[in-house]
Amino acid sequence: MTENYRHLYVVIEHIDGEFLQVSLEMIGEARRLLDEFNSKYSSNEKVVAVILGYNIKDISKQLIEYGADVVIYSDNPELKDVRNTIHTKVISQIAQDKKTLGEVEPEYASEVKRPRYMFFAADSIGRHLSSTVLTELESGLASDINKLVIEDIEMSHQQKTGGIKETYAKTLEMYRPDFSGFLWTTILCLDNRNPAFKRDYHPQACSIIPGVFEPLKRDSKKEGKIIEFIPKIDEKDLRVKVLSRKIIQSEVDFDTPRTIVSFGRGIKDDPEQNIKIVEQLAKELNAEIGITLPISKKPFSVSQALDSKYMTPDRVIGTSGHKTSAMLYIAAGVSGAMQHVWGMKDSGFVVAINPDEDAPIKNECDIFIKGRMEDVIPMLIEEIKKQIHIIEA
Amino acid sequence: MCALNVAVIIKLEPDFSEGNVSYNPDGTLNRAETKNTLGPHSAIAAHAAFYAKVMYDAKVSIGTMGPPIADLALQQAQQISDAEELHLYSDRLFAGADTLGTAEVLKTGIGKMQGKMDIVFSGHRASDGETGQTGPQTGWKLGFTFLGNVISYSVDLETRTIRVKRLISLLGVPVVIEEVEAPLPVFISIDPTYKSSFDTISQRLSFQKYQKEASERVENYKEHFKVFNAEQLGVDKTLVGLPGSPTIVYKVEKVPKPTATRQAEMIDGSNPEQIKKVVARMKEALSAMVIK
């Protein structure tokens, strides 16, 4: 059977030649998925890393060592900074270029038209780039994925198949946690086989949450193919000029402090007062304050000072925010949704304060203090004052 | 003629504020019991459009795709932005669209607005869907330069260019503010940390004037309000709704309860003796720190 779509393309992110960790994580997951795929379907499809930049030729080889079979790179001064328009154009060219596709796997050169799957990072770069590339390619995209499975799916769908039972072979099941963290939604990107509006939707693409998947160990002996793609650059796609780039110090620091105190919707009985006691507890322990994702949506009205200081996205611990490996993590009024747990599970010692014994956080802590935060925290503070004296570094 | 035409695309979303939001016992959102409101990120985008109104005397238009009740979000966004044109794109054919199918409707709708758009704003992401894709996809379909994570902007009306600051936050590397310049038209997805600031007296006076005008317009919002169905928009019906959506939701399941990674010791929070023990354990855990 002719297959017009082959391989898994991973769009690599890097800063001046330094790979972002998520890029290596995506290659790791791509490798695991395709190894299974190739053995299941007796196939030889490739993990293809796509990298754009300037003076990047030398680092391309490393992507092979981290698990890619093939690297396609475009090296051009105009690609030094990530600018959405030109990056979208070049990635889209690479995904559709017959010659390059042919070089990836010469024996299928005559039939392959586009990648089968495509991965981007779900971050400040990849989130938007994936959106615009998949609009250019007119195909489907799922965002913020943390689990991937490839399956043959038999289904009858009113729109997609016109109600007839069809098998969608080699379909990427893309799992994304919803905003509550308690539901998993599986997204599929499927061709329309309904005779009324037949249309192919490939590649099947997604953006992947950084920090979720494991990168592979680097293997300097691994061999692979490196292909240069010379992009067609149109002047009108270069209209954005980067004037400056400045590193800023975030006001919130989850890396340095040994202790993090987080709060969640458990503050609800008296949000203003409860945030204040969390503040006191954090002060005693010289800790940074974190929040859960629902708190960043400002579900409670509190004074402007507390609102703008704490109910902000940059304080979120979890898949939509930061990951911490604090020595001591105190979760006050936090239920323990999957996405939050991801952000704190590497902490050393975890204390949870919660009136609900069945809260999932109980499975993720070393000590579970059953009680309301407003009752427990003042007692903790009292005792900390007696026992712990922290000298600020 | 206005010096600048700006549009905002917004969304009616579940209201996550306490008292309006309702959760099921298992922690999932109870949609039937939860009220709806203008999404918080949409509201920030409307504020960014109002900034153009105050600073450049821009004409503001707002568009949304949704059921008839989404006019509530349009009114709320009008109050923020002093918009004089409110569009609701509503048709059963649009139902079930993914972000690509939605972007097609919004792009077509923006084309129906009065005047050629110079800037189109969207919020960072919706609070319920949380994909953050619809904005950039609409921008790309319009053929506009896309600028994401924008925290501030200024327009040069003479040269028809915009300067923006973008907040780039990537896991594992320091946060960067990037300043870029681009000719109009542009599509901007506004960062959640965006805040308008009006520093001069004349700006503050304009701010007050247009805020008052906004309230008056909201009172007569029907005069500004227009509903378009698929026919009136003239969209290609194979590019919207379910036929125009590459992706489908295949299944929704509860995230399986992970096996316990730690064995929690249970402490009675009302017992001071036990709390004492907890703090001793905390002290032990922090023993690598300088503790006297």
Residue B154, pLDDT score: 97
The answer to whether the Cβ–Cβ distance between B170 and A20 falls below 8 Å is: yes
Q: Under an 8 A CB cutoff, do B279 and A247 touch?
A: no
Closest CA to B85 of B108, B54, B63, B53: B63
Report whether pLDDT(B130) > 80: no
With CB atoms and an 8 Å threshold, state whether B145 touches A85: yes
| H helices present in chain A, as ranges | 21-40, 57-65, 84-96, 98-104, 126-136, 271-284, 293-296, 304-310, 338-344, 373-387
| pLDDT tens-digit readout, B178-210 | 999 999 999 999 998 899 999 999 999 999 999
CB–CB contact A130 B257 (8 Å): no
Chain B residues lying within 8 Å of A242, measured CB to CB? 178-180
Which residues, other chains included, contact B283 with Cβ-Cβ below 8 Å and sequence gap of 6+? Answer: A387, A388, B291
How is chain A split into domains, by residue range? 5-238, 259-387
Q: Which of A12, A131, A304, A361 to mutate to test the interface with B (most CBs of B within 10 A)?
A: A131
Query: Pick the residue with more confidence: B267 or A179?
Result: B267
Cβ contact B136–A84 (<8 Å): yes
Q: Pairing state of beta strands A241-248 and B175-183?
A: antiparallel
Give residue B289's pLDDT band: very low, low, confident or very high (50, 70, 90).
very low
Nearest CB among B193, B252, B264 relative to A185 is that of B252
- B158: which strand partners? none
Angle in degrees, 0-180, between the axes of helices A126-136 and A84-96, rounded to the nearest 10: 50
pLDDT at B290: 43
Q: What's the first-to-final CA gap in chain B, in angstroms?
A: 72
Q: Which two tokens stand for residue A16?
A: 């001046």
Edge-first strand listing for the sheet containing A349-354? A288-291, A259-263, A328-332, A349-354, A367-370, B265-268
In chain A, the residue whose alpha carbon lies closest to the alpha carbon of B183 is A239
Binned at pLDDT 50, 70 and 90, residue A218 comes out as very high
Q: DSSP label at A216?
A: P
Instruction: Give how far Cα A69 sits from Cα of A62, A93, A391, B225, Å.
Output: 11, 20, 52, 55
- CA–CA distance, B283 with A388 (Å, rounded to integer): 6
What is the residue extent of each domain of chain B?
5-233
CATH of A259-387, one of 3.40.50.1220, 3.20.20.70, 3.40.50.880, 3.40.50.1820: 3.40.50.1220
Mention every residue, 6+ apart, whose C-beta is less than 8 A from residue B220: none
Q: pLDDT tens across B26-69, in order?
A: 666 777 788 899 999 999 999 999 999 999 999 999 999 999 99
- With a cut of 50, say whether residue A145 has pLDDT above it: yes
**Is the Cβ of B1 closer than 8 Å to some Cβ of chain A?**
no
Q: Could you tell me if B18 lies within 8 Å of chain A, comparing CB atoms?
A: yes
Neighbouring CB atoms inside 10 A of A290's CB total 31
Cα–Cα separations (whole angstroms), residue A293 to A5, A263, A310, B238: 38, 10, 12, 37
- Give A199's DSSP letter: B
pLDDT, residue B16, reads 79
Q: How far is CA B71 from CA A244, B32, B101, B233, in A?
A: 41, 19, 20, 17
User: Is CATH 3.20.20.70 correct for B5-233?
Assistant: no
Question: Which residues is A155 bridged to in the sheet?
Answer: A166
Which residues of B are less than 8 Å from A350 in CB distance? 262
Residues A312 and B95: their CA atoms lie apart, in Å, by 32
Is the predicted pLDDT of residue B104 greater than 80, yes or no? yes
Identify which of B127, B136, B183 has the shortest CB distance to residue A297: B127
- Return d(Cα A344, Cα B191) in angstroms, integer: 25
User: What is the C-alpha to C-alpha distance for residues A334 and A331, in angstroms, rounded to an integer?
Assistant: 6
Phi, psi of B95 (to 5 degrees): -60, 145
Which of A186, A298, A368 lies nearest to residue B264, judging by beta carbons?
Answer: A368
State the distance between the two ends of chain A, measured CA to CA, in whole angstroms.
67
Query: Mind listing the pLDDT tens digit for each residue in A115-140?
Result: 999 999 999 999 999 999 999 999 99
Task: Name the burial class of residue A98, with classes exposed (0-12), middle (13-18) and buried (19+) by CB atoms within 10 angstroms of its CB.
Answer: exposed
What is the arithmetic mean of pLDDT over A200-220?
94
A349·B285 Cβ contact <8 A: yes
Question: Using a CB-CB distance cutoff of 8 angstroms, which residues of chain A are in contact with residue B281?
Answer: 349, 366-367
B7 CB neighbour count, 10 Å cutoff: 29
The two domains A5-238 and A259-387 share their CATH topology (first three levels equal): yes
More confident residue, A84 or A294: A84
The mean of the pLDDT values for chain A is 93
What is the per-residue pLDDT for A254?
A: 82
B246 touching chain A per CB within 8 A: yes
Min Cα–Cα distance to chain A from B169, Å: 6
pLDDT more than 70, % of chain B: 96
Q: What is the pLDDT of residue A87?
A: 98
Q: Provide DSSP, A371-391.
A: S-HHHHHHHHHHHHHHH--BP
**CA separation (Å) from B106 to A15, A53, A113, B118?**
34, 33, 30, 16
pLDDT band at B261 (very low <50, low <70, confident <90, very high): confident
Whole-angstrom distance, CA of residue A321 vs CA of residue A71: 30
- Coil, strand or helix at A129: helix
Per-residue pLDDT tens for A320-360?
Answer: 778 888 999 999 999 998 889 989 998 999 999 999 999 99
Mean of pLDDT values over A64-71: 98
Mean pLDDT confidence for A177-201: 89
CB contact under 8 A, B261 and A364: yes
**Residue B232 and residue B222: Cα distance in Å, rounded?**
18
DSSP H or E segment with residue B232: helix B230-233
Average pLDDT over residues A290-299: 88
CA atoms within 13 A on the CB side of A380: 32
- For residue B176, the distance in angstroms to the closest alpha carbon of chain A comes to 4
How many residues in total does chain B contain?
A: 292
Q: What is the DSSP code string of A311-365?
A: SSGGGBBSTTSB----SEEEEES----HHHHHHHTT-SEEEEEES-TT-GGGGG-
Compute the nearest-CA separation of B277 from chain A (Å): 9
Which of B246, B259, B283 comes nearest A201 by C-beta? B246
Residues of chain B found within 8 Å of residue A339, distances taken between Cβ atoms? none
Residue A318 pLDDT > 80:
yes
In chain B, residues 46-105 whose CB comes closer than 8 Å to chain A: 96, 98-100, 103
Chain A residues near residue B100 by CB distance under 8 angstroms: 134-135, 138, 140-141
CB-based contact A345:A276 (threshold 8 Å): no
| Residue A305: CB atoms within 10 Å | 10
How do strand B161-168 and strand B145-156 relate by DSSP bridges?
antiparallel
Find the residue in A nearest to B254 (Cα): A183
| One-letter amino acid of A12 | I
Closest partner CB to B28 (pick from A180, A368, A376): A180
B158 inside 8 A of chain A by CB: no
B153 and B221 Cβ atoms separated by less than 8 Å: no
| Residue A270 confidence (pLDDT) above 50 | yes
| Alpha carbons A331 and A333: distance in angstroms, whole number | 6
Quote the tokens at residue A84: 């959405």
- Cβ of A328 within 8 Å of Cβ of B253? The answer is no
- Decide if B236 touches A, using CB distance below 8 A: no
Interface test with B, best of A268, A367, A381 (most B CBs within 10 A): A367
Contact A239, A54 (CB under 8 A): no
φ/ψ bin of B117: left (φ > 0), alpha (ψ from -120 to 50), beta (otherwise): beta
User: What Rg do the C-alpha atoms of chain A give, in angstroms?
Assistant: 24
In terms of C-beta density within 10 A (0-12 exposed, 13-18 middle, 19 or more buried), how is residue A223 classed? exposed
Q: Which of A180, A194, A142 is nearest to A318 (CA)?
A: A180
Domain A5-238 superfamily per CATH: HUPs (3.40.50.620)
Average pLDDT, integer, range A250-256: 77
What does the pLDDT average to over B103-115? Answer: 97
Q: What is the pLDDT of residue B292?
A: 35
